[in-house]
Amino acid sequence: MAQFLDEVSRTFSEYLLIPGLTTKECIPHLVNLQTSVVKFKKGEESSVKINIPFVSAIMQSVSDDGMAIALAKNGGLAFVYGSQSIETQAEMIHKVKNYKSGFVISRANLTPEHTLADIVALKERTGFSTIGVTEDGTSNGRLLGIVTGRDYRPTRDDHNRKLKEFMTPYSKLVYGEYGISLQEANDLIWTNKLNCLPIIDKDQNLRYFVFRKDYESHKEYPNEVSDGKKRLVVGAGINTRDYEERVPALIEAGADVLCIDSSDGFSIWQKETLEYIKTTYGEKVKVGAGNVVDRDGFLYLAEAGADFVKIGVGGGSICITREQKGIGRGQATALIEVAKARDEYFEKTGVYIPICSDGGIVQDYHMVLALSMGADFLMMGRYFARFDESPTRKLLIGGNYVKEYWGEGSNRARNWQRYDMGGADGLKFEEGVDSYVPYAGKLKDNIEITLGKIKSTMCSCGVTNLKELKAKAKITLVSSTSIIEGGAHDVIVKDSRN
């Protein structure tokens, strides 16, 4: 007969934190959110750390090179999605590792044959008003001109006009040569009274833009995560099928850490992938594994060589694995059990293997709960999909701006490798949906608010770092009535728009 677990499978919403003694040291700006990403031995330091406990999900609709750059600058880490060709994923990694602060890769580009209607549509989707006009319409194509908001009037001009008729042509552009320093680029901007400066290589290919408006905002990012060569840190997703070809290319491109992307990490396929990487590269290449939801799954991957383990099955906002297959576990319950196993493993072996909570985050306070329950860092998809820096389109639907967001198990993504069961067949049914999330603006603005909440909550718990939070947090279960009590009740809430 099947084994039955008596414990109820619980979510973060069923718990609250109990306040601890708030001392004079418990001030938000003194809270340290640095955390380890990969395993380390007792008395040693992890070789990969991040300054905020956030990593972005390994998803087409979340983590490309743009998200990776933005998140690393703000203290976190992005795992560039692996459900694409090896060449394009490696190129994304290469772009992140070669990024220079203040030098912006153009993410809005057209050809001279495109029309004003295309510009209006592109601006509506992306929010970008500076358009690079290149020979092939790509971000690194041969630069032929630039279009800014000063070059057209969308309410008066003919939307069928081609860009070549009103763009500022290359012959009239002031530009910087690839290799120029940021200070030299800013000097050119101010001397020539420009709003933006294109940076081109010797073949006239567009490499970057430097913007006047970024002169002030591109001051030091205090939380920026970089490697020993002052390059941004970036992760990459891999699968259990083509790892022998994909991993070498990603390492060559500069990926700092890899992660096997799968809905079910408790499998022989992950063990074989981990063993190949560790046998081939030793401990030089760091690779996480998952997802699992219990002690047995964690120990299996730990013994197989995982540098971190990802926790969660079916808890993501676009995931329907539980609905389709009846498999998974409440994220809080899964995290609590695995964290206990992780700590016991550390005591037994002297090796600390960080765990990543993946999914189940609905409210910002759930993040603090997850960290207090033992997570070393959090992987989030919906949270990051809402921002300008995610790779999806911004649309106006029902009077509100939204961004597209789809699961890797959806028919749109067709990432059947993530749900690989070892056979020759591909994806037979969906385990994710295609959806929208409310548009939220820039990553930096939103993440500062979220981090402010986390730090304030930690101060109320009487702690100033994540290690103290795990050790000292007091957590209580709440009833359904208590959850209602926790929100606004028995009042008529004013409409904030009035």
The amino acid that residue 237 corresponds to is G
| Pairing state between β 143-147 and 235-238 | unpaired
Q: Any idea which residue has 């763009």 for tokens?
A: 167
* Distance in angstroms (rounded) separating the CA atoms of residues 374 and 356: 9
Report whether 188 contacts 176 (CB < 8 A): yes
Report whether 463 contacts 473 (CB < 8 A): yes
* Distance in angstroms (rounded) separating the CA atoms of residues 272 and 66: 32
* Distance in angstroms (rounded) separating the CA atoms of residues 63 and 11: 26
Catalytic residue among 259, 319, 459, 461: 319
Catalytic residue among 196, 356, 418, 459: 418
Measured N-to-C along each axis, helices 295-304 and 331-349 cross at an angle, to the nearest 10 degrees, of 50
Q: DSSP assignment of 350-419, as one string?
A: SEE--EEEES---SHHHHHHHHHTT-SEEEESHHHHTBTTSSSPEEEETTEEEEEEE-TTSTTT--GGGG
* Distance in angstroms (rounded) separating the CA atoms of residues 226 and 157: 46
In the chain the first and final C-alpha atoms are separated, in Å, by 61
Q: Is 319 marked active-site? A: yes
> What's the CA dihedral at 436, 335, 373, 483 to 10 degrees?
50
Q: Which residues contact 313 (CB under 8 A, 6 or more apart)?
A: 263, 264, 291, 292, 293, 321, 322, 327, 328, 329, 334
Q: Is 356 marked active-site? A: no
* Distance in angstroms (rounded) separating the CA atoms of residues 280 and 277: 5
Q: Which residues are catalytic?
A: 319, 418
